[in-house]
Chain A
Amino acid sequence: GESVGLHLPTLSVQEGDNSIINCAYSNSASDYFIWYKQESGKGPQFIIDIRSNMDKRQGQRVTVLLNKTVKHLSLQIAATQPGDSAVYFCAENINNAGNMLTFGGGTRLMVKP
């Protein structure tokens, strides 16, 4: 059954350090993955995406790694800044299933100045 009311796992890092946020996805048929950042009171904000035919993709200060063998996704943030403090969600999608996203449970990132 679904667990309700659990606190989000929290990652606390020092400003300037690198952050790594992990996500285990559930469906081996998923072929598209997205990381979102959600600040308090706001909607999810797109950070970076990756298709299943890739294992790494880089953006500005962010890198996403995909390991399909163990169904694992990670988001690396370089030189973490206070503005990076938020909850981060991974989401998966099956291309032929209408593009609906299945979200993971989220990780709260706290950046200490």
Chain B
Amino acid sequence: NAGVMQNPRHLVRRRGQEARLRCSPMKGHSHVYWYRQLPEEGLKFMVYLQKENIIDESGMPKERFSAEFPKEGPSILRIQQVVRGDSAAYFCASCRRVGNQPQHFGDGTRLSIL
């Protein structure tokens, strides 16, 4: 039973380029969450999606960042016109349903901006 799969594991972009991060949740999980982690810090919530819907994007910057979770295929976190400050580890988590359920995390995408 595969866990949460994220790719790529490492992504290098130059300033101004676009970054696309993918997340396939665990089988049977329809709730996906994206978090961002800076070195030596805890994870910070960005966005919560359910199939085809954004439920809560309160932690995601209004500019340049977007997320989707289409009916078919992985969830995508997209960062346009990347800047140095976007360098971080981005983690995806999924769960089967909401309400006192642990989220299961992928191993993240480490984004480096040159």
**Which residues of A are in contact with B by a Cβ distance under 8 Å?**
4-8, 31-32, 34, 36, 41-46, 49, 51, 89, 91, 93, 95, 98-106
Contacts and interface: CB of A to CB of B under 8 A. Distances in A.
A4 B38 CA distance: 9
- A interface: dominant SS: loop
B105 to A, nearest CB: 4
With a 10 A CB-CB cut-off, give which of A49, A101, A106 has the most chain B CB atoms: A101
Interface residues of B, number: 31
B63 interface: no
A104 B31 CA distance: 22
A31 to B, nearest CB: 8
B100 A44 contact: no
B103 A99 contact: yes
Contact of B41 (A51, A93, A95, A106): A106
B33 A100 contact: yes
Can you list the 8 inter-chain pairs with the closest CB atoms, starting with the nearest? A103-B42, A43-B105, A99-B98, A43-B107, A32-B100, A103-B43, A46-B102, A100-B45
B56 A98 contact: yes
Contacts of B56: 98, 100
B42 A104 contact: yes
B42 A99 contact: no
Given A6-B40, A8-B40, A99 B45 contact: no
Given A43-B4, A49-B102, A105-B41, A99 B31 contact: yes
A3 to B, nearest CB: 9
